[in-house]
């Protein structure tokens, strides 16, 4: 931002050559992109992109126009996603089409391919698809090589979408598989392309009523998004999963995924707003420094320019330190909130869901248990799972549970899954972690115990396993939980 701003300020100089004006247009374009992507300052993004477009149109910089329109489309799409507007945006599509037109004209093939990829990503139905059919025809007639990185991946995306819209679902599935293979080979936006291929594949599987395969595909996407901190992709994936479960008729899971979707979206919006507020001081400082830089440039005082950069770097460091302190305070408040929330849950009696009907549960094998037998077995299972002395034994397993309740291993597994809506391992870990919260929340009880000792007493095979499980369930680490308990 600092360097691009210095270049952009040179626009005030009336004695510039064409190549210098081109650099100014590119700098304005990049300032627009950074303002929207990293600072969520859409107003500043629009202003700088429009200035870049005006210069590019005036001097015939077609290649920069391609980038500017692509960035403008991306900004509008980001704004719409931020406010959960999933409908096809005419404004986004028009800017993407212009980006493709100028990219072909200027032979900026990476922009051309990216534009088509983004158009395909916008498609929701056959009517939307018809809007981009002329552009796809032009794209397929381009004679490009593999040196254009996303060329093959986008070609497969195009063919798969055409097959899907034509109702040729198996063919579409084959093309999405090829798209996934091509996505593995690229470096730019690799994870995003992999996720898109898998999500589209899941959509085809859902239409073909292969719901389990579709869910499996989306679960894998969820892991990729979580591992790479891809919040926007994670939000879209939760919504896609909810839609598949609706198609399956599993309203309970659909509602759970809808909740995850809304929660993730709200967290993303909150984070976006928080980051915008945190970085506003930097942007204000940057604006002030830019005015000083323009005055220094007018006087051609190189010494003052150097001093300005030193002051700017110092200001950035100070602001970074301030943001770090604020971030630590926010993190501590967040941990305290999670601690208090989990402490409140300790007073809530843990109950399991009543066993679902055979139609809703849809077991993978034909059960020989009638509903009355399931209910009786479920009551025995609940008694054992609420017995801390039993479930905290290191060797306690699903097989041990079956022995305790005097039933068949498969029957017990089926009833646990149907009644709790979770696997045996999940239920066991939640009960053990709940007991860990009770211990950690009592300083008198935990004062002479280490985390390792608590983990061992609760049946965990290592501190690391205990810590990971505890944090996944409660949201905070055992040590943070203990600190909060001692403070309170």
More confident of the two residues 97 and 284: 97
CA distances from 347 to 128, 342, 404, 431, 437 (A): 52, 9, 27, 14, 11
Q: What is the DSSP string of 285-344?
A: HHHHHHHHHHHHHHHT-HHHHHHHHHHHHHHHHHHHHHHHHHHHHHHHHHHHHHHHHHHH
User: How far is C-alpha 142 from the geometric centre of its chain's CA atoms?
Assistant: 33
What are the tens digits of pLDDT across the range 241-289? 999 999 999 999 999 988 988 888 887 776 665 565 555 555 566 666 6
Whether the CB-CB separation of 212 and 197 falls below 8 Å is answered with no
Phi-psi group of 428: left, alpha or beta (phi > 0 → left; psi -120 to 50 → alpha; rest → beta): alpha
pLDDT value for 323: 84
List, in sequence order, every beta strand (DSSP E) within 195-308.
none
Q: Do domains 2-223 and 367-487 have the same CATH topology?
A: no
Q: Name the range with the highest mean pLDDT among 11-15, 202-206, 299-303, 437-441.
A: 202-206
For the chain, domain boundaries: 2-223, 274-346, 367-487
Taken as a whole, the chain contains a residue count of 488
Q: What is the DSSP string of 441-462?
A: T-HHHHTT--HHHHHHHTT-S-
* Cα–Cα dist 74/271, whole Å: 19
Whether the full predicted model's pTM is greater than 0.75, yes or no, is: no
What are the tens digits of pLDDT across the range 307-334? 888 888 888 888 888 888 887 787 777 7
Whether the CB-CB separation of 27 and 8 falls below 8 Å is answered with yes
**398, pLDDT greater than 70:** yes
Whether the CB-CB separation of 144 and 103 falls below 8 Å is answered with no
Topology annotation, domain 2-223: 1.25.40
**Domain formed by 367-487, architecture:** Orthogonal Bundle (1.10)
What are the tens digits of pLDDT across the range 101-142? 999 999 999 999 999 999 998 887 788 889 999 999 999 998
Whether the CB-CB separation of 295 and 308 falls below 8 Å is answered with no
Whether the CB-CB separation of 118 and 73 falls below 8 Å is answered with yes
**Tokens 């950035």, residue?**
316
């Amino acid at each position: 931002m600092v360097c691009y701003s210095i270049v952009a300020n040179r626009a005030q100089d009336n004695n510039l050559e064409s190549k210098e004006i081109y650099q100014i247009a590119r700098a304005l374009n990049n300032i627009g992109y950074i303002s929207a992507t990293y600072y969520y300052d859409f107003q500043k993004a629009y202003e700088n992109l429009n200035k870049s477009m005006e210069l590019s149109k005036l001097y015939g910089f077609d290649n920069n126009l391609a980038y500017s329109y692509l960035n403008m489309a991306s900004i509008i799409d980001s704004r719409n996603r931020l406010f959960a507007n999933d409908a096809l945006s005419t404004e986004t599509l028009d800017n993407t089409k212009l980006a493709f037109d100028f990219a072909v004209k200027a032979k900026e093939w990476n922009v051309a391919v990216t534009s088509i990829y983004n158009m395909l990503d916008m498609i929701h139905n056959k009517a939307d698809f018809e809007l981009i059919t002329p552009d796809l025809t032009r794209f397929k007639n381009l004679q490009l090589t593999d040196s254009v990185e996303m060329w093959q991946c986008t070609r497969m995306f195009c063919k798969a979408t055409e097959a899907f819209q034509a109702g040729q679902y198996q063919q579409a599935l084959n093309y999405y598989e090829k798209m996934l293979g091509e996505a593995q080979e690229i470096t730019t936006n690799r994870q995003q392309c992999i996720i898109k291929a898998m999500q589209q594949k899941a959509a085809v599987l859902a239409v073909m009523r292969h719901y389990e395969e579709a869910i499996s595909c989306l679960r894998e996407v969820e892991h990729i998004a979580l591992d790479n901190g891809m919040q926007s992709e994670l939000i879209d994936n939760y919504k896609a999963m909810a839609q598949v479960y609706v198609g399956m008729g599993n309203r309970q899971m659909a509602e759970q995924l809808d909740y995850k979707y809304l929660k993730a979206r709200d967290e993303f919006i909150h984070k976006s707003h928080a980051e915008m507020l945190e970085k506003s001081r930097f942007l204000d400082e940057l604006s002030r420094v830019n005015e000083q830089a323009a005055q220094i440039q007018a006087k051609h005082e190189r010494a003052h320019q150097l001093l300005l950069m030193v002051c700017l770097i110092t200001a950035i460091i100070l602001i970074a330190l301030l943001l770090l302190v604020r971030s630590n305070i926010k993190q501590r408040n967040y941990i305290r909130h999670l601690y208090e929330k989990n402490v409140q849950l300790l007073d809530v009696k843990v109950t399991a869901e009543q066993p679902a009907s055979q139609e809703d549960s849809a077991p993978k094998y034909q059960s020989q248990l009638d509903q009355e037998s399931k209910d009786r077995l479920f009551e025995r299972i609940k008694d054992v799972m609420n017995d801390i002395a039993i479930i905290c034994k290191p060797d306690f397993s699903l097989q041990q549970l079956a022995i305790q309740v005097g039933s068949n291993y498969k029957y017990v597994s089926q009833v646990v899954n149907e009644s709790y809506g979770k696997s045996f391992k999940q239920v066991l870990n939640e009960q053990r972690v709940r007991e860990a919260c009770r211990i950690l929340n009592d300083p008198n009880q935990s004062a002479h115990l280490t985390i390792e000792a608590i983990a061992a007493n609760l049946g965990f095979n290592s501190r690391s396993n205990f810590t990971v499980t505890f944090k996944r369930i409660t949201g905070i680490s055992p040590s943070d939980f203990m600190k909060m308990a001692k403070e309170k």
